[in-house]
Chains A and B, each alone.
Chain A
Amino acid sequence: MSRELYACVHAAEFPSQALLRLRPDLQAKPVAVLQGRAPLEQVCSMNRLARLKGAATGMTRLEAEALASQNEGLRLVSRSLEAEAAARAVLLECVANFSPRIEDAAKEANREAGQGTACSLVLDIAGTERLFGPPRALAERLRNALKAAGFRASIAVSANFQAARMMAVAARGITVMGTGEEATALCGLPVALLEIPADHAETLDLWGIRTLGELAALPQVDLIARLGQNASAWRNLALGAHAHAFQPIEAAFSLREFCEFETPVEEMNSLLFVGARMIDSLALRAATRAMSLACVVVDLNLEGKRTHRLMIRPALPTVDRKFLLKLLQLEIAAHPPPAAVLSLTLSAEAGQSSKVQLGLFAPQTPEPSRLDVTIARLKAIAGEDRVGSPVLEDTHRSGSFRMTGFVAENPPEEEKAVQPRMALRRLRPPLAVRVALNAGQPALFHDGRQSYKVATSFGPWRSCGCWWSMDGWDIEEWDVLAELQGAPVACLLVMDRGKNEWRLEAFYD
């Protein structure tokens, strides 16, 4: 026979927790979060240090600023719903490691008077004893996992859904209520935890009913006669015996982190400081699902309503945080944002963890993750499009190719005997030359610095194409044997018929 058992995770002051989670520099400072439209903003959430400094929910911006001027350390930041959504996804991901059946109780919890906005999740943990041990052990592991993810939450365990929820809201730390002990455990909690309309709450207040224990002690029939049928539900809630139909949610698995800065950030180090925490979180979340990060998209929201997108795509999916952070650093260095950054979003695509079976007799190849960093560094040195593997274009245009990304792989060995053929060394860009003709053939040419006396020339080899487009060509190629300071030189001269100019394209070497 299976019995019900629930664990409620209640993260109070969630707006401030969501903002400070990725900002370790602010965690040791008093921070108050403002919400609303300027200039009517009000404090909606704060951390413990700010509360100690005197900040309170509902303070106006002026009051908060006056308090901040008195207390040097108090920081005022704006609420970010996007950051909260990202943080909630992380919280959900974290608790999902303990139970797949989760119900979001935040809607009810948010209505709690004086508690500010909060995130409450209730887990159905019935039958998890063999995995995680007794309820207290599970609660402790859950709390440690949340702490590692950057959240402070209270946890209550009970066989009754609502009892667990109310206890998590009211109590701090971990509370475990045994079966049948709910009424005793809840008796000291305020009546305000129940969702009682204002007029009935006033009536209860006039009666002197302040706690759930006092409400539970009232006779049920008389209570219903005076307050209506809803009073029965309130009394059951106070007794910890209210029945609840569990409505599990199915959260979509998305690897996304968001951080909004209170002031525009121009320093790359500041971006990387936050980016490192975000990559840590993404890698940890992917790793808990036995997956890796195949691609990380970095969206930078810039001043002037502009956006700047960067992409990190390692050769193999990985959860190596240092490696991903190095790639992020090199990517930002290669493509710096054109303006100050207002917010940073990291979205990742999960991929299967890389499994590379190395062959005993396979040729040595560069290690993929190390090669990624090397190529990123090479691109920072030489330029973005100047590092890679060349691919020949399917055209008759001489010297045409395009660059593609280099992937170290071991293709099957090819047994082909290719005899050495005379190679060209290209001049990029081609050198304009002045050519003296003799009987229609080049006899002498000068490249601006030195003269080449032509001994023999072969040509012209005419070639044209793409005449229907702007990048058409119409050239005559000459293979020329020349003498330069007494030394023989073979080179490729080109006469551009469209522009009527001669160019030295390459040397045979």
Chain B
Amino acid sequence: MSARSATALRLEIEHAMERSFPAALTPAQRTIRETASTGIAEVNALIEGGLPVGAISEVNGPESSGRTTLVLSFLAQRTAEAKVCAWVDADDAFDPESAAANGVNLRQLLWVRCQKAGGLVRGKQAAKPWTQLDQALRATDLLLQAGGFAAIVLDLGDTAAEHARRIPLATWFRFRQAADRARTSLVVLAQAGTAQGSPAQGTNAQSSAALALQCAAMNPVIAGGTVLRGFRFEVRNERQRFTPFAVGRKKPPASVWPAASAWDSLGIKEDAAAFECARVLEMENSA
């Protein structure tokens, strides 16, 4: 009886406020969209499960911001599920050893290494900076059209932001359509957002991107004194489509995640412990 009256009351209020707020007290229905885990719990929690499937995700940031590690961790998860992935490398910067250390099954990874002077591009065109970008875009287009790849990484990490931003919006729109049709996660690894720093200008794919993450490096902790370890990165969720608007949110949600060194057999937990020790020592010194 009480439940019925509550429903009636809600309907009455909604009817009265219909002109101002349609369905004011009824939560909006949400479609649960498929996501794929990044393999990093902190990042998964930030973006509600992982990178979207069948959509474009952007992972932006400067050098040493952990963006490549994040994407490799994502690929490791996908290849562990016996799926095939592709890495379109505009600047030939991919390191197979790092990928293997992160758990990527290299046999299931198609690596396309774009080059300055190669393939069908010859002569004066070969020396232009956008020939590699053009190769990368054409390769991505072909792979998306071929279908069957669970994830395709378009690595523009060393491509200057001003060049990457010249990619026409029509290209991104086409990629979005193709990724949706092929159920492929297209991950764009880029520097965007580092030059201007403004979130609005910080994405390449702009409205075509379902998710835009901005990575930043935190000051690494020097633990042990003999080896470089204790990397920690900040990742900000700059843009995520299909999520409810958070009232009163001024800054994009962010999270911090650690990464071990490739040679480090102790792992993240030891790094985290070292991080805590170092922090305490720093506080004591400052006191």
B97–A481 touching, CB < 8 Å: no
* Residues of chain B lying within 8 A (CB to CB) of residue A367: 146-148
A363 in the interface (beta carbon within 8 A): yes
B70–A488 touching, CB < 8 Å: no
Residue among B72, B105, B148, B226 making CB contact with A420, cutoff 8 Å = B72
- Mask for B140-152, Cβ within 8 A of A = 1, else 0? 0011011111100
**How far does the Cβ of A327 sit from chain B's closest Cβ, in whole Å?**
14
* Residues of chain A lying within 8 A (CB to CB) of residue B227: 458, 479
A399 in the interface (beta carbon within 8 A): yes
CA distance A427 to B146 in the complex (A): 30
Scoring B98, B100, B110 by chain A CB atoms within 10 A of each residue's CB, the highest score goes to B110
A421–B102 touching, CB < 8 Å: yes
CA distance A4 to B142 in the complex (A): 61
B158 in the interface (beta carbon within 8 A): yes
Q: Give the B-binding residues of A (Cβ under 8 A).
A: 333, 362-367, 370-371, 374-375, 377-383, 386-392, 398-399, 401, 403, 406-416, 418-428, 456, 458, 479, 481, 484, 487-491, 506-509
A364–B95 touching, CB < 8 Å: no
A388–B110 touching, CB < 8 Å: yes
Residue of B nearest to A481 (CB): B220
Scoring A366, A390, A403 by chain B CB atoms within 10 A of each residue's CB, the highest score goes to A390
* Residues of chain B lying within 8 A (CB to CB) of residue A508: 64, 228, 231
B25 in the interface (beta carbon within 8 A): no
* Residues of chain A lying within 8 A (CB to CB) of residue B68: 423-425, 509
* Residues of chain A lying within 8 A (CB to CB) of residue B100: 392
**How far does the Cβ of B9 sit from chain A's closest Cβ, in whole Å?**
48
B62 in the interface (beta carbon within 8 A): yes
CA distance A409 to B148 in the complex (A): 11
B50 in the interface (beta carbon within 8 A): no
Scoring A379, A421, A481 by chain B CB atoms within 10 A of each residue's CB, the highest score goes to A421
Residue of B nearest to A419 (CB): B268
If A382-B119, A386-B118, A424-B95 touch, whether A418 touches B76 (CB-CB below 8 Å) is: yes
Residue among B92, B111, B135, B268 making CB contact with A381, cutoff 8 Å = B135
**How far does the Cβ of A479 sit from chain B's closest Cβ, in whole Å?**
4
**How far does the Cβ of A221 sit from chain B's closest Cβ, in whole Å?**
82
Residue of B nearest to A487 (CB): B62
A387–B110 touching, CB < 8 Å: yes
26 contacts between A and B (CB under 8 A): A363-B150, A367-B147, A378-B112, A378-B139, A381-B139, A382-B119, A383-B113, A386-B114, A386-B118, A387-B113, A390-B94, A390-B109, A398-B97, A408-B108, A414-B82, A421-B102, A421-B261, A424-B98, A425-B63, A426-B93, A481-B220, A484-B63, A487-B62, A490-B231, A508-B228, A509-B68
